[in-house]
Amino acid sequence: MGAVVSNPAVSQRELWNRQHCERAVNVEDCDLPTQFGKRVASLLCPPDRLLEFGCAAGRDTLHFATVARSVLGCDFSESALTILMSSATRKGLADRVQVKCYDLNEQFRNDTGEPFSVVYTRCSLHVDDETARRLIADISVNLVPGGLLCAEVKSVTDPLFGLGDEVFRNGFVLPDTQGRGHLRRFWSVEELSMLMKDHFRIVASGTTTEFHLGKETHLVHVIAVLRPFAAAPTGHSASENVL
């Protein structure tokens, strides 16, 4: 293992802190919600409480805050969370948005005292199998009965899959344009579904191709309902695209 991955959590946090600062200055559309974010927002209604992992500067977080009662955005980048809260204040949404500096490699603790109705994550599950299983278990104990888990991740068909050093199964570190090692984990729909199946029932899944910052990106997504099937929270349709 090279220097980049000898302590991946620390080096990845530094990498992302720098990227978020650079993007805040240079990328004009970084606050537009994503397609998957818009789809999940359409499932929300005002009593909902949403938890987002890997929220970054909050382009989806702030969109969720326009429809949900409250949103907790988690990311291990302090820079991202600072940008997010200043955007929330500017848009008059600060009373609905909270942030938490949290690394996916650690156990998640819900300090809010209330469970969530939806957990959302997009392009942030850059962790190994064991961590991913622990995270899904953490999520399952912090959701209301019938709560939703909505995850979109990098696909194994993505053009970047297989490039760089494999540091764990399907996890590759590839130098970015500045020569900084960027860790990405790639998933198939089947793997993502298998990861969730002990705690969740999959209600929708699929693949998409998008262009982000001019580059083709292949993504897979899963939307799943927490088992057992108690009544779904108001506004959620568990029958949507039932598999």
Ligand X SMILES: C[S@@+](CC[C@H](N)C(=O)[O-])C[C@H]1O[C@@H](n2cnc3c(N)ncnc32)[C@H](O)[C@@H]1O
- Which residue number, 55 or 202, has a Cβ lying nearer to ligand X? 55
- Amino acid occupying residue 68: A
By CB under 6 A, which span of 86-94, 123-131, 134-142, 159-167 interacts with ligand X?
123-131
68 close to 46: Cβ distance less than 8 angstroms: yes
Question: Does 136 help bind ligand X (rule: CB under 6 A)?
Answer: no
How remote is the C-alpha of 168 from its chain's centroid?
20
- Amino acid occupying residue 42: S
- Which residue number, 11 or 232, has a Cβ lying nearer to ligand X? 11
Residue among 43, 81, 47 at smallest CA distance from 62 = 81
- Amino acid occupying residue 106: E
Q: Given candidates 80, 83, 204, 220, which one binds ligand X under the rule CB under 6 A?
A: 80
- Which residue number, 85 or 104, has a Cβ lying nearer to ligand X? 104
Q: Given candidates 11, 12, 70, 205, which one binds ligand X under the rule CB under 6 A?
A: 12
Question: Does 236 help bind ligand X (rule: CB under 6 A)?
Answer: no
How remote is the C-alpha of 147 from its chain's centroid?
16
- Which residue number, 44 or 232, has a Cβ lying nearer to ligand X? 44
243 close to 205: Cβ distance less than 8 angstroms: yes
5 close to 183: Cβ distance less than 8 angstroms: yes
Distance CA 13, CA 61 (A): 20
Q: Given candidates 126, 182, 199, 221, which one binds ligand X under the rule CB under 6 A?
A: 126
Distance CA 82, CA 57 (A): 8
Question: Does 59 help bind ligand X (rule: CB under 6 A)?
Answer: yes
Please provide residue 130's backbone torsions phi and psi, each rounded to the nearest 5 degrees.
Answer: -65, -45
Q: How far is the CB of 59 from ligand X (least distance, A)?
A: 6
Question: Does 54 help bind ligand X (rule: CB under 6 A)?
Answer: yes
Q: Which residues contact 96 (CB under 8 A, 6 or more apart)?
A: 65, 68, 69, 70, 71, 88
By CB under 6 A, which span of 50-58, 64-72, 141-149, 218-226 interacts with ligand X?
50-58
Distance CA 128, CA 105 (A): 9
- Which residue number, 39 or 227, has a Cβ lying nearer to ligand X? 39
Q: How far is the CB of 60 from ligand X (least distance, A)?
A: 6
Distance CA 65, CA 61 (A): 6
Q: How far is the CB of 191 from ligand X (least distance, A)?
A: 18
Q: Given candidates 49, 96, 100, 122, which one binds ligand X under the rule CB under 6 A?
A: 122
- Which residue number, 126 or 221, has a Cβ lying nearer to ligand X? 126
Q: Given candidates 56, 83, 84, 204, which one binds ligand X under the rule CB under 6 A?
A: 56
Distance CA 9, CA 12 (A): 5
Positions that interact with ligand X (CB under 6 A): 12, 16, 34, 54-56, 59, 75-77, 80, 103-105, 122-124, 126
